[in-house]
Structure 1
Amino acid sequence: MNNNRVMQLSLSFMIMAIMMFSFSESSAFAHPHPGTILVEEQHNHDAQTEIMPLDATTGLEKTTVFFHASSYNTLPWGFVEGKIENPVQGHPVIIQIFKDGEAVHFAQTSVNENNQYQYKFRVLNSDSEGQSTKIFDGDYLVKIFKVVYLDQRNQV
């Protein structure tokens, strides 16, 4: 019972910290990883974004972020979340997660009235006997696709 309370408090703290960093105009995150993580030279935590025009007014914005599930992770959930600066309403956010170039997870989530999205997924399973199974472990690339207006004046 005490471990569950500690896990809930840790998760609540992480969510509050994430929310504090999510108030910028345009952002995208994939986590869990509390605190600072030393990153090898092959990658960093900076989001890479490109926009591919769909027509004269809209485009497909692709953001690629790094996600690391530590072998020491004890939290059950991972998150992909962010805020879209200029979304085209009615289009979901598409999320693709890759490990070593192979697709391992796909999802779609809606954009709320504040132009934010969040997708929560299991990274760790625990059974009734207390045995844990890691669903995600190691380094992943997360590709996030959003339909956006190319010119902010076209927003509805």
Structure 2
Amino acid sequence: MSAKTNILLFASIMTVFGIMMIPGDISAESNQITVTPINEKVSLEETITTMNVPQDNKLPWGTVRGAADDVAERYPIIIQFYKGEDPVHFAQVDAKGDGSYEYKFRVRNLDSNTGEFVNVFEGEYTVKIYKVIPNTNNLV
């Protein structure tokens, strides 16, 4: 096999392993949840959290998850990553039937040209998660 084929095979195997592994050393803390009414039926819930990815991270995937909760139907969950004030990654996911959600993203990639691993995320990030929720207060 050629070197390029070997690299692609290795990258494929790493991807399969990466799907099964969730980095244990990547941490996040929930800092702030704000609910803003949109109309009499739904509100926008914004969760701001901090994600820390260590420089020596060896695992390829990170995950943003939300527990089963009330989510308004037909509205996606928006996830935004910021390094300081600079936006670096945006995602949109649908909620599952129970209201939970999960977004997997690459933290580390294999550069197919050089065969070396490259950290996509490293250091501290602010993560903002937006979801539309049904109003529980009839007065809104």
- Would the TM-score normalized by the shorter structure come out above 0.5? yes
Letter in structure 1 aligned against 2:135:
L
Counterpart position of 1:97: 81
Counterpart position of 1:115: 99
Superposed CA deviations along residues 46-86 of structure 1, whole A, max 9, x for unmatched, are 34111000011210000011111110111111111112521
The answer to whether the aligner puts 1:140 opposite 2:131 as a matched pair is no
Partner Cα separation in structure 2 for residue 130 and residue 48 of structure 1: 40
Counterpart position of 1:34: 25
TM-score by length of 1: 0.69
Alignment of 1:1-156 (within 5 A): 8=17, 12=20, 14=22, 32-34=23-25, 45-128=29-112, 130-151=115-136
Partner Cα separation in structure 1 for residue 24 and residue 83 of structure 2: 17
Deviation of the 1:152 alpha carbon: 7.8
- Compare CA radii of gyration and give the structure with the larger one: 2
Runs of 4 or more off by more than 2 Å in structure 1? 10-14, 32-35, 127-130
Identical aligned residues as a percent:
33
Counterpart position of 1:22: none
TM-score by length of 2: 0.76
In the alignment, structure 1 segments of 5+ residues that lack a partner are: 15-31, 38-43
Counterpart contact for 2:69–2:100, Cα < 8 Å? no
In the alignment, structure 2 segments of 5+ residues that lack a partner are: 1-9
Partner Cα separation in structure 2 for residue 50 and residue 66 of structure 1: 15
Deviation of the 1:127 alpha carbon: 3.2
Partner Cα separation in structure 2 for residue 107 and residue 46 of structure 1: 19
Counterpart contact for 1:59–1:150, Cα < 8 Å? yes
Partner Cα separation in structure 2 for residue 137 and residue 130 of structure 1: 19
